A and B are shown apart, each in its own frame.
Chain A
Amino acid sequence: MSLEVRPTVTGTRVPSSDLAEPPVNHQPRWVLVGLGIGLVLAAAAFMTLGAKGSWEFLLPFRGTKLLAMALVGTAVSVSTVMFQTVTDNRILTPSIMGFDALYLLLQTSLVFAIGSARLAGVDTWARFVVEVSVMVVFGVGLYRWLLAGQRRSVHVLVLAGIVLGVFFRSLSGFMQRLIDPNEFVVLQDAMFASFNSFDRELVWLAAGLLVGAISVAWALRRRLDVLLLGRERATMLGVDHRRTVGLVLVIVAVLVSVSTALVGPITFFGLLVANLAYRIAGTHRHAVVLPVAALLGVLALVAGQTVLERVFSFDTALAVIIEFLGGIVFLALLMRGERR
């Protein structure tokens, strides 16, 4: 994988007495180009490896999957970076704040309340729209409530997220024990993110929503930079902190909800991708960090899915592959940073 794109300084000897060592001169453009090349290679591998049968079937089939991965990878990475910017820390993610668990609870409640047979009869579009709306409303409400206080400690937020996640999961678990075992099997499908069983007709609707949300995020990129300074300094610089954070949280909720409703609980790798992006972007500017994170996210999904399909013949979960490979890369970067 082409994560090794940071230009390394070779041949220039810094005098050892010079303790004021200048930071490694990252060139954001080359990071982006490197990631772009990596992504093209991964996408080519995904589209062509192990191709059997007619291309006329294969290209649109795999192409739709690729599009879904591009959408979801971008949405997860962008939402995580934005969420971390407004909460002013690099540990919290929508996933840690219980979003995946909320999706699970929603699915379980639906099966519990109306049964899988009748649920299958519901129009896919209607179901998608309802799911997205419920999650957006709930997500915005939850984040607003948690972040409304002027200054809440990160520890309280992490704790609240973990408690909420456990609460949602226990509630889902309770309902899952009450329902018919056959219903539970249907439900199990919804419990893991999968690019093999998503609804293909929804991809374009999701694409529209995600492109809209991401455009707003992009328009906010300079204001997001200022939010990095914290509430008080952002206010001093004339950024309406409350309004901007509110808007960011709505975008995050839309991004997370749409991608989750499309393929299932998927936000797990946001933490990894966002932190990798900060490390290799070499700048705090969202104009660089957001595209780097998006490229990394899509790259992780496409490469992970290719490995899943070609090496493990669909025999494991995508999360396992992405977190294993991504975790190794992340550790390597951390240790290299340690030595520097």
Chain B
Amino acid sequence: MIDVLDAVKAYGSVRVVDGVRLTLPAGGLTSIIGPNGAGKSTLLSLVARLVALDGGQVLVDGLDVTTSRSDALAKRIAALRQENHLGSRLTVRDLVTFGRYPHSKGRPTAEDGEHVARSLEFLDLVPLADRFLDELSGGQRQRAFVAMVLCQDTDVLLLDEPLNNLDPRHAVAMMDRLRAAADELGKTVVVVVHDINVAAHYSDHIVAMCDGAVVHEGPPPAVIRPEVLSSVYGLPVEVHDLAGRPHATYFR
């Protein structure tokens, strides 16, 4: 589904993504973990064609993201970025309706309306639907942007820190929903997360990055190991068995 072939992105002489090779199959939830500045967000942006590649190639569903038509790609990939600043004043419903643009080209049909309603409901936003985004809390706004991404109804969802600003209850709800999107709707979900244990608990596949390169990847038990995490984060990390699941602790 997603093939990253020797992707390179450099800012000046710093190669923030340095020859990444990665293949993610269709379906399932993949987490990308790693320390700050490891190149996780940049890798996601490269796949989402938001940042131009300096070398290598990225294929989504067989389509080269650099050369394919942007409107064709918009029906296959949707991405959530870290910052959710908006210059203009929109309501939650307006924003989510924008997610239908690749399909409706700005003339939402009744079917688009159903998609919007479902996304609003999926993220618990129905009571907030007619509020303006600048009147919402950070977590509510974050959910509105995720609803917009879901509404785009693409096979691939790329989410850069979807748990930003969310309290534990909404963080768990968000991950449950992303899990459901993968399991029930067959989406390919890729998230960047900072919480190792969230990654361990919810993912089918974990990719660990460090200094612009993928250093480990595999199912959670293969990556959530003390020696792997300690070297990735440069910090002593212990992994405990908690009711049959690996659980990392790194502070005392």
Interface residues of A (CB under 8 A from B): 20, 22-23, 88-90, 221-223, 225-226, 228-230, 232-233, 235-240, 284
State the CA gap A38–B178 with chains docked (Å).
52
Q: Is B131 an interface residue (CB 8 A)?
A: yes
B107 at the interface (CB under 8 A from A): yes
Which candidate, B83-91, B189-197, B202-210, B238-246, is the interface stretch facing chain A? Answer: B83-91
Known: A20-B131, A232-B81. A223 touches B106 (CB 8 A): yes
A238 touches B88 (CB 8 A): no
B147 within 8 A of A: no
Q: Are A238 and B102 in contact (CB under 8 A)?
A: yes
Q: Note all chain A residues with C-beta closer than 8 A to B105.
A: 222
Q: Is the CB of B73 within 8 A of A238?
A: yes
Please encode chain B, from 97 to 140, with 1 for each CB lying within 8 Å of some chain A CB and 0 for all others.
01101100111000000000000000000011011100000000
Chain A residues near B87: list those with CB within 8 A.
88-90, 228, 230
Interface residues of B (CB under 8 A from A): 48-50, 69-75, 77-79, 81, 85-91, 94, 98-99, 101-102, 105-107, 127-128, 130-132, 152
Give the distance to chain A from B121, nearest Cβ to Cβ, in Å. 17
A23–B90 Cα distance when bound, in Å, is 11
Determine the distance from Cα of A223 to Cα of B70 in the docked complex, in whole angstroms: 13
Interface pairs A-B: 3 shortest CB-CB: A222-B106, A238-B74, A238-B71
Q: Could you give 19 example pairs across A and B, Cβ below 8 Å?
A: A20-B127, A23-B91, A23-B130, A89-B87, A221-B106, A222-B107, A223-B106, A228-B86, A228-B87, A228-B88, A233-B98, A236-B79, A237-B74, A238-B69, A238-B102, A239-B70, A240-B70, A284-B90, A284-B94
For the residues of A in contact with B, the DSSP-based class is loop
How would you classify the secondary structure of chain B's contact residues: helix, strand, loop or mixed? loop
Which residues of chain A are within 8 angstroms of B101 by Cβ–Cβ distance? 222, 226, 237-239
Cα separation A226 to B132 with both chains bound (whole Å): 17
Q: Which residues of B contact A222 (CB under 8 A)?
A: 101, 105-107
Cα distance A23–B94 when bound, in Å? 13
**Extra 14 A-B pairs, beta carbons < 8 Å, given A222-B106, A232-B50:** A20-B128, A20-B131, A23-B91, A23-B130, A88-B87, A222-B101, A225-B106, A228-B87, A230-B85, A237-B98, A237-B101, A238-B69, A238-B102, A284-B89
Q: Which of the residues A23, A226, A230, A237 comes within 8 Å of B86, measured between beta carbons?
A: A230
Interface residue from A225, A228, A232, A235 paired with B70 (Cβ < 8 Å): A235
Q: CB distance A229 to B98 under 8 Å?
A: yes
> Cβ of B99: which chain A residues have Cβ within 8 Å of it?
237
Chain B residue with minimal CB distance to A287? B106
CA distance A222 to B89 in the complex (A): 17
Task: Give chain B residues whose Cβ lies under 8 Å from the Cβ of A22.
Answer: 130
Nearest Cβ distance between residue B161 and chain A, in whole angstroms?
15
C-alpha gap A222/B94 in the complex (Å): 13
Which of B49, B73, B89, B101 is the most central at the interface, judged by chain A CB atoms within 10 Å of its CB? B101
Q: What CA separation (Å) do A58 and B89 show in the bound complex?
A: 46
B73 / chain A contacts, CB cutoff of 8 Å: 238
Return the chain A residue nearest B131 by Cβ: A20
How far, in whole Å, are A22 and B91 apart by their CA atoms in the complex? 10
Residues of B within 8 A of A89 (CB): 87
Complex CA gap A228/B86 in Å reads: 8
Which chain B residues lie closer than 8 Å to A223 at the CB level? 106
Given known A-B contacts A20-B127, A88-B87, A235 and B50 have beta carbons under 8 A apart: yes
